[in-house]
């Protein structure tokens, strides 16, 4: 009588499936706990690191299991494949972060005005106005992020910015509204990242300008050594949205900086700086 040798089941395949499947809920639960305010950013990063490590081990074990199946004829192909599949899904955010860290410059603080940046931070103006700004690196990476000038009063620009901030659902930490249409104004905002819910600080400063009002924006990350381009994207989005609101309300856009600036033809209501009623962005002037 022939004796049949038992077919060995790959332990690596079993572990791969377990690690890959468990890594996903670890990452998701950690993210949800942070977004719900139950854990801080440090705890979030620790949980994410554990989830990514588990996923990496699952992928490595899955590869080792498939090699054993091919070489020794061991069982466990299905488990190894599932472990690889779920492990790679769990690792995809980490891979995206790694790609962003390579593609974007290493910045955590971005400002339209690098010579005299608006103060930013959760507890008022910081001792060092420069903060974590890196002017040379920012100039090279984001040459389009510069101060913007609009042919409207500071109060009108302030209301346009307020409307955009409200639409974004950002939390206003403090603000100084202009009493008159040529007074300076400031809005300090807390913005949350879309996925992890990390808090970033943003300051909008509006100053009177010979052509109307000047808009400066500064966005800074509270945690992390790399913003993955988030602060620059936030500033660009805010600038584009404010420009759209003013275009819809008054039919005007920002004045471009150039050697031969075009002559701006303003609506009749903007030619009257002493008029008491300031139109709210979104309400078009009455047709004549």
Indicate the range of 8-12, 121-125, 186-190, 239-243 predicted with least confidence.
Answer: 121-125
pLDDT at 240: 93
For residues 115 and 257, membership in a common domain is answered with: yes
Provide the β-strand partners of residue 216: 205
Q: What distance in Å separates the CA atoms of residue 102 and residue 178, rounded to the nearest whole number?
A: 42
Is 198 domain-assigned? yes
Distance CA 42, CA 51 (A): 14
Tell me: do 97 and 116 sit in the same domain: no
Identify the pLDDT of residue 196: 85
Domain identity same for 133 and 180: yes
Q: Is the pTM of this model over 0.95?
A: no
**Are 222 and 147 in a shared domain?**
yes
Shared-domain flag, residues 82 and 193: no
Q: Could you give the 3-state DSSP secondary structure of residue 259?
A: coil
Closest CA to 132 of 104, 103, 102, 110: 110
The CATH number that applies at residue 217 is 3.30.310.80
Judge whether 41 lies within some domain.
yes
- Kindly state whether residues 142 and 157 are assigned to the same domain: yes
Give CA 195 to chain center in angstroms: 10
In which domain, by residue range, is 53 found? 11-103
To which residue do tokens 């993955």 refer? 228
Q: What is the DSSP letter of 83?
A: H
The answer, yes or no, to whether residue 1 has pLDDT greater than 70, is no
**Domains of the chain: total:** 2
Assess whether 136 and 154 both reside in one domain. Answer: yes
Does residue 192 sit in the same domain as residue 212? yes
Considering the domain architecture, whether residues 161 and 130 belong to the same structural domain is answered as yes
Q: Percent of the chain at pLDDT above 90?
A: 54
* Main-chain dihedrals φ then ψ at residue 267, nearest 5 degrees: -60, 160
The answer on 86 and 198 residing in a single domain is: no
Question: Average model confidence (pLDDT) for the chain?
Answer: 82
């Amino acid at each position: 009588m022939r004796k049949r040798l038992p077919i060995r089941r790959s332990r690596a395949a079993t572990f791969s499936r377990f690690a890959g499947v468990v890594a996903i809920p670890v990452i998701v639960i950690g993210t949800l706990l942070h977004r719900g305010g139950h854990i801080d950013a440090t705890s979030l990063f620790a949980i994410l690191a554990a989830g990514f490590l588990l996923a990496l081990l699952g992928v490595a074990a899955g590869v080792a299991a498939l090699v054993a199946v091919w070489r020794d004829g061991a069982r466990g192909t299905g488990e190894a494949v599932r472990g690889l599949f779920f492990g790679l899904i769990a690792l995809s955010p980490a891979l995206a972060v790694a790609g962003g860290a390579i593609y974007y410059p290493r910045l955590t603080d971005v400002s339209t005005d690098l010579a005299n940046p608006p103060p930013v931070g959760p507890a008022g103006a910081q001792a060092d106005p420069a903060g974590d700004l890196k002017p040379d690196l920012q100039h090279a990476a984001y040459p389009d992020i510069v101060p913007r000038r609009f042919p409207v009063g500071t109060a009108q620009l302030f209301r346009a910015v307020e409307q955009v901030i409200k639409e974004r659902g950002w939390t206003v930490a403090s603000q100084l509204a202009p009493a008159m249409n040529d007074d300076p104004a400031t809005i300090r905002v807390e913005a949350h990242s879309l996925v992890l819910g990390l808090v970033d600080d943003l300051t909008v400063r509006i100053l009177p300008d010979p052509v109307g009002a000047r808009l400066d924006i500064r966005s800074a990350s509270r945690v992390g050594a790399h913003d993955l381009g988030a602060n620059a994207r936030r500033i660009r989005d805010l600038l584009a949205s404010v420009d759209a609101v003013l275009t819809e309300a008054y039919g005007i856009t920002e004045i471009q900086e150039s050697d031969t600036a075009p002559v701006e033809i303003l609506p009749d209501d903007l030619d009257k700086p002493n008029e008491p009623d300031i139109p709210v962005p979104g309400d078009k002037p009455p047709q004549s």
